[in-house]
Copies of this chain bind each other. A is one copy, B any other.
Amino acid sequence: MATAAKAGQRRGQGARDRILAAADRLFARQGITATGMEQVAEEAPVSKRTLYAHFRTKSELVLAHLRALASSGNTLEGALTREDLPPRERILRLFDLPVTDAGAGAVRGCPFLDAAAEFPDPEDPIHVCAREQKLLMVRLVTALVTELGCAGPAALAEQLVTLADGAAGRAMVLNDPDYGRFARAAAEILLDRALAGNSTATGAKAG
């Protein structure tokens, strides 16, 4: 490949990354629907022509934003696959988030839940993408509690992710970055009880 072509490719990649970083900042600060494509182009900064060359529609940009977040590992789910941590610690890391937005200093919730709230139609590709991430989350936690030998792993995993998503939501609305401490304490109780092998502990009956 010619050097000029390589340089062009690098510039192209740089623009895409700058667009996604700008979208992430703006979506976190003011919401997704409130953010226009023009504003994303200004914030990146790229020309509108470049923006639309990378993302033909706003919906495409939002989906790429969510996928980039998912693969960044900087999500509630991010710690669940960290092979360097023991299974229980990976689960408890769910309660260390959320992150504070560098711009406004506001506490962010789970970007997938928040995107689904902005696009309530269950068939909207953005809602579907958020759902897939939340289903991945519970699959990962189910595998971890199974590895730990917990009773009723499937229902226990749903309880743990419910606590994590609830903590993210309340941390956001209350603007309290430490709000996860309550959910973490509850998770410890549920894990200890399921490890004690009490088969009623995980709510499997209710499932």
Evaluate contact between B193 and A206: CB separation under 8 angstroms.
no
Evaluate contact between B134 and A121: CB separation under 8 angstroms.
no
A127–B163 alpha-carbon span in the complex (Å): 22
A82–B143 alpha-carbon span in the complex (Å): 40
Residue interface mask A110-146, B partner, CB < 8 A = 1: 1011101111111000010011001100000000000
Answer whether A30 and B166 are a contact pair too, CB < 8 Å, given A130-B173, A183-B159.
Answer: no
- Report which residue of A29, A101, A114 has the largest number of chain B beta carbons within 10 angstroms of its beta carbon: A114
Residue interface mask A88-101, B partner, CB < 8 A = 1: 00000000000001
- Report which residue of A34, A106, A135, A182 has the largest number of chain B beta carbons within 10 angstroms of its beta carbon: A182
Residues of B within 8 A of A155 (CB): 182, 185
Contacts from A to B (Cβ < 8 Å): 28-31, 33-34, 101, 104, 106-110, 112-114, 116-122, 127, 130-131, 134-135, 155, 158-159, 161-167, 169-170, 172-175, 179, 181-186, 188-190, 193, 201-207
